Structure 1
């Protein structure tokens, strides 16, 4: 996570030109979004991100207050982490902003604090670089405070440290030498300043790789020659510096001072036209930045111009000077507010952290309570389900007992029928057969026509007795109550339910179904399914006619219930508890259910149950 985060940040900064004075708000917004995405990583990552954002604001945008804000956030975090090197770099960034906003005393204090941290660290390459930058910043601060000896001392320390660095550091060394030359020039030590500038101007590598920097040094060198009354190479050196500055993409800002120096040079030579040309050129460019360079251009024009025009430029100078001073004070006050508000925010964050802790505790309690409540409710539902199963079992036992009772009645009827047939055979058929046999015996001795005729009558009687015996035999072979017990129970159920529900019902059954081969479990579930179906028809269908039928197809019992009710959309209707119970029962007996329905036509429920 850390690696990915810093890789993205590094890529972002590598694609940004920090030396440009222009700025890209889209890049700032994208970096803010990047920071918000990783806001929850560890404190080191957050602190480094604040530092990177502050560096971006400081080097490539005019938003110094935003840079100060993020530096200050990074400072707080690095202090908590005891990250001395990172804290020292952050303080250096703050000191540079203070110096740029002319808070020289504040910049000095912050720079000394940064140096004290660097002094506590082992003198590695990064530490040497950091210290050299701080010394360079202190040199600029003391130059602006006109404490030139201290300024020279700090620049020399910066140069000494940069010379210790490994590799090619000519450019880094050159920046401090150039700043040292500026201090000598401002303290009127022109010859020493010229020597400093010449060290840089004689370095062809700097000319080739840093033309913008070369143009600045060349202008300072030319201006020092002008101040020391050495005009032999002037204004050629100024033009050379201006040409280089104008040839690069960000020429505008650096060319302001060159144009001012040319205006000052030509004014001194008495060429007012050229002096005005370069002075106004400098003013036009400086107006884009509204800073000290514009202030200097206005003052220069008040000296070059005459009369009312010069007075107007002087008034503009005074007005802008007051505005800049006021703005500087506001910025310094804003820095103070940022420090105060940041501390206030930190206190609020501590309070928020406490509130979050309590919120987490309360949330945890609520979660546990909800979990316990869920367990209680779930247990109640399970108890209800068990109770329902128990009630179903009791109902099934009741049906089973009813079937047993019905079977006892069937057996009793079967016994009575056997007794009736036995009596019929004994008292009727056997008596008639015995009488016919005696009569035939008495006729065997006679051959008269009357005897023959009587014999034929008795033979006819024997045929009648034969038919009666065959009939009784057939009745004995046909178990008239075989399988009729379960159907009688179903018939009773249907008649009872339809009478209560005010329905007209037809029951049709296939005689080839041998219900004795069907298990009691399946019979019980079939009974309950019919009972539930009739209840659903009464409750939802608003039907007047119901047809119930049993068929046997390929050793599978087809139970069909058809009503002429209102019907419903099978795909949209949710399954109620009745239909769920039916499905559960059908599943237990390995059956299949199929429901078809049409609105205002009726519903057909087909249940298929294998016999075995």
Structure 2
């Protein structure tokens, strides 16, 4: 039993160890594969190296797309574009670079994204140079230069810009750029960069017959041979060959051209081999060969321009779509911000409006309450004074009249005067006496009218019974009672009327009372009685109008 357990433990341990070891081996293989194919791209030795590397990076790109690793997808695309350029497929290389740039434009900006953009813009600039589209090449180089922060990156881009100036025959500008590049390369002690700067500087100097041109190119070649930079050696052989060709030293030019061809063969790049053969053909003085070369170059240039135009349209279309999407996003964001501001503004305005309404409502409620309290105070004051006049003044006068009547020496006229004073105080007390709201207010008004009616005066009412007095506040009832009392008192004292008509009606929320008598009328002049009546109605936000002429009666309209 113990042996079985030991055996099972050993199997489990062996399985775990094997799995971990295999994972480590797999990871190592992936790393080794990446390094292997990277070397095939940088320094191809067989004719199949570049195509094998392209197949690897194409499969790698698909795997990274499935994994959602954007940066690695971009890295794969950059290697694919570089391979396509080395194989001479400029249009495909440009399309692949544009695909990488489209992804970069949508990625979140960081150091890796910026580094990749520098490389892609620089690569597109080199392709545009191959197309002889120099303005576009400069545009891409300048974009790359704006993003570059490392000196090495800047020197590479400046070197490429100088090549454009050389192609445009702007020799002084090219020499200025390359001199800067050479000085900074010496400071970095980068032999590859130094050789490139010297070679390009010598090529430009050769165009203006500068004496140091050849020595600079040969020094560059010596450095490249020393560090075994095949691609750099090819460039040096080609430039030296052209130098001797311009000096009409054909044999020496052919020697360097053949060396360039041999290096191109070792690089295993169709593009380099084709370029080397083109240089050899240039050195052949056969008219037919010259004519063939001219036609071949024209056709190649036309094909490249066509491809470039299509690729540029594709890039511009992609760029325009991206910009349109960015503009649309900015517009939508702006609209959302604007709507948010409008909503906040509306909210603030609503709050201010609500506060204003509440403040106004509170003011009017307080004002109305104050007015109501004031009216009640006036009413209670009138009632108190009425009671005091009745209880004290009128009663005292009545007792005095009783005593005087028992005294025969008092003249009759004195008794009449006292009786007149007693009647007046009783009337004052009655006019300001307490109004009973517990009974039906219609009956209270009818009692009021009946008190003023005599054999010589008829008081007629119309619509009194149609009014629902329960819906009318006590303050309004008080005002109606006092005003009508004032009008009837005024009529009895002054108008000599025989008929008085009172019409009551409800007009929506308002109560209308029309008073009309057939008395002698008067020239309107508000005295205390009429002024008090008006003040009572106005205090309740109502209106009262008086209309009268001599011998045409007296009219009043009350709205409350």
What band does the TM-score fall into relative to the shorter chain? 0.3 to 0.5
Structure 1 length normalisation: TM-score? 0.41
Higher RCO (C-alpha 8 Å, min separation 6): 2
Structure 2 length normalisation: TM-score? 0.45
